[in-house]
């Protein structure tokens, strides 16, 4: 197998990540829908709960049926979800849209990383997993980098619903590109006829529970990534509290994404020079310092402390996640790969 799958996944990640809503979520809810800020985290919590509950079942779907089918179906649902979102400025449509998007995201999560790793495994180049995964994440961040300020400008000059419609369209375009992916033969060989879906599901969970190295990597990745990702959901509320103008939100998000891109391209050489464990420890400390600065900046009502504090948690999200997932992949077989990654 050539690098065709890898290149296609890069393009899919880039197009699917052209999310124009990154810079306008808070004003979308407060201005267009007329909601209180306190409801926004609850809507996002609804999404996260469903995404978490559906991760493992959809990961097993990718292992049992096809990673390609899982990715294509997920992108379709994400596109539909964004369009459902703006039918009317009412909570019921927001919750329905978030549910559909959560199902789509869960179908993609784990499946894309599994297809990428198995493609490398088939070529005998699995040692490049951290580098390739980080690069893929970089393409995704370029999409967000372009999308956030464009979305802010569209909202300012037209309306908020159009931003959501265009975001849905990009997901549907990514789905069309994903149709050209090819399932790696490494995975096809591990699909055993007569083995049911629930056997695939339980086998993957047993690996996660019983394999000491996988469990330790799982805990580290999940906790640190969750704490760092909090800044993505909460930074606009923090910025609003210290009176940063909304017009700057998209550009601040893009600055955070730039830090992700820089660190993602440094993580592989850092890992080769200092080792996975040392890099994992230092990036954890780096992220924690940033989160503390955001909290301190809000308490002191200092815009600059908040702005600086946002960047470290942003910076580690791609590279560190790619590094840790590569370590997990080295310990599991193709037949359970998507289930384990999705569970994490």
Residue with tokens 């550009």: 251
What is the three-class DSSP state of 184? coil
Residue with tokens 């690098």: 3
> What six digits make up the tokens of 107?
């179908």
Residue % of the chain over a pLDDT of 90:
33
How far is the C-alpha of 232 from the C-alpha of 28, rounded, in Å? 16
pLDDT of residue 76: 97
Is 48 a residue whose pLDDT tops 70? yes
Q: How confident is the model at residue 140 (pLDDT cuts 50, 70, 90)?
A: confident
> What six digits make up the tokens of 121?
């495994």
| Helix, strand, coil percent content, the chain, rounded in steps of 5 | 85, 0, 15
How far is the C-alpha of 190 from the C-alpha of 188, rounded, in Å? 5
**Per DSSP, which regions of 53-178 are E strands?**
none
Is 301 a residue whose pLDDT tops 80? yes
What is the three-class DSSP state of 332? coil
Mean pLDDT of the chain: 86
pTM of the predicted protein model: 0.81
Is 175 a residue whose pLDDT tops 80? yes
What is the three-class DSSP state of 251? helix
How far is the C-alpha of 194 from the C-alpha of 204, rounded, in Å? 17
pLDDT of residue 187: 60
């Amino acid at each position: 197998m050539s690098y065709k799958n890898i290149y296609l996944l890069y393009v899919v990640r880039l197009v699917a990540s052209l999310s124009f809503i990154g810079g306008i979520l808070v004003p979308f809810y407060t201005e267009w829908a007329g909601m209180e800020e306190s409801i926004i985290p609850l809507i996002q919590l609804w999404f996260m709960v469903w995404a978490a509950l559906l991760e493992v079942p959809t990961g097993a779907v990718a292992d049992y049926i096809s990673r390609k089918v899982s990715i294509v179906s997920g992108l379709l649902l994400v596109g539909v979800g964004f369009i459902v979102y703006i039918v009317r400025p009412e909570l019921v449509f927001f919750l329905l849209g978030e549910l559909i998007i959560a199902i789509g995201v869960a179908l993609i999560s784990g499946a894309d990383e599994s297809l990428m790793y198995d493609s490398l495994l088939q070529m005998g180049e699995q040692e490049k997993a951290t580098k390739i995964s980080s690069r893929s994440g970089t393409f995704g961040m370029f999409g967000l980098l372009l999308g956030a300020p464009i979305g802010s400008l569209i909202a300012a000059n037209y309306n908020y619903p159009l931003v959501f419609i265009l975001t849905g369209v990009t997901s549907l375009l990514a789905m069309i590109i994903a149709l050209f992916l090819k399932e790696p033969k490494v995975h096809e060989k591990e699909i055993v006829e007569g083995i049911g879906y629930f056997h695939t599901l339980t086998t993957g969970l047993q690996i996660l529970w019983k394999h000491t190295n996988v469990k330790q990597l799982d805990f580290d990745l999940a906790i640190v990534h969750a704490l760092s990702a909090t800044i993505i959901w909460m930074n606009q509320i923090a910025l609003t509290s210290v009176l940063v103008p909304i017009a700057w939100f998209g550009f601040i998000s893009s600055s955070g994404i730039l830090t992700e891109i820089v660190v993602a391209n440094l993580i592989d050489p850092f890992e080769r020079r200092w080792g996975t464990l040392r890099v994992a420890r230092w990036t954890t400390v780096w992220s924690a310092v940033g989160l503390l600065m955001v909290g301190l900046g809000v308490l002191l009502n200092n815009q600059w402390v908040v702005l600086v504090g946002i960047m470290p948690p942003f910076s580690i999200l791609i590279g560190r996640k790619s590094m840790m997932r590569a370590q997990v992949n080295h310990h599991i077989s193709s037949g359970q790969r998507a289930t384990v990654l999705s569970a994490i």
